[in-house]
Amino acid sequence: MINGIKNLFKYFKVIWNDRWYDSHFIFKLLKFKLELMEKNFRKNGIHLYAEKDADKMKLCILLLDRLIKDEYTENAFRYHNEKWGEPEFSTDDSSKFIITHKNVITEKDREQERKEFCIINDKTYGMEKQDVNYLFSFLSKNILTWWD
């Protein structure tokens, strides 16, 4: 019963801020749990591989940090925006959403920028998906061995 009460206090902020509509909240909850476990394994680990298991948990935490920060798009589009200019957003008379770049001058530029945009956009999704796959593959291989 004491552990349950302690857990209420430990998890209060994470649960209070939890939402159902975004994967990042699952990542935050999992990260919090793994951080508690890693700390406990380093401090109180009694099985032979406690330190190694804590290192594996740390790797998962680092992957979760990347997923939570969600900087895939910013990192991938840095060069694109240097080349074409930062995107500027507006609407026309019919409320159509328009994205322009100061270095897009000709129609050929516009076609090239759009083509590069689509390629980069696909890559950002791929990078994030790769981190998710690595995280859960790594967890799948290791999580059952973290206890005696």
pLDDT band at 148 (very low <50, low <70, confident <90, very high): low
What percent of the chain is modeled with pLDDT above 70? Answer: 99
pLDDT (tens digit, 9 = 90+) per residue, 111-124?
999 999 999 999 99
**Are 60 and 80 within one domain?**
no
**Are 125 and 88 within one domain?**
yes
pLDDT (tens digit, 9 = 90+) per residue, 22-51?
899 999 999 999 999 999 999 998 888 999
With respect to residue 138, please indicate whether it lies within any of the assigned structural domains: no
**Are 64 and 77 within one domain?**
no
**Are 116 and 57 within one domain?**
no
**Are 59 and 1 within one domain?**
yes
**Are 21 and 51 within one domain?**
yes
With respect to residue 139, please indicate whether it lies within any of the assigned structural domains: no
Q: Identify each DSSP E strand in 54-124 by its residue range.
A: 88-91, 97-100
Q: Domain of residue 120: give its range.
A: 71-133
With respect to residue 45, please indicate whether it lies within any of the assigned structural domains: yes
Q: Which long-range contacts (CB under 8 A, 24 or more apart) does 132-137 make?
A: 132/67, 134/63, 135/60, 135/63, 135/64, 135/67
In the predicted structure, residue 73 carries a pLDDT above the cut 80: yes
**Are 34 and 77 within one domain?**
no
Cα dihedral 15/28/56/143 (nearest 10): 60
Mean residue pLDDT across the chain? 94
CA atoms within 13 A on the CB side of 58: 10
In the predicted structure, residue 1 carries a pLDDT above the cut 70: yes
Residue 92: predicted pLDDT: 87
With respect to residue 82, please indicate whether it lies within any of the assigned structural domains: yes
The average pLDDT across 132-137 equals: 98
The residue from 11, 41, 68 where one domain ends is 68
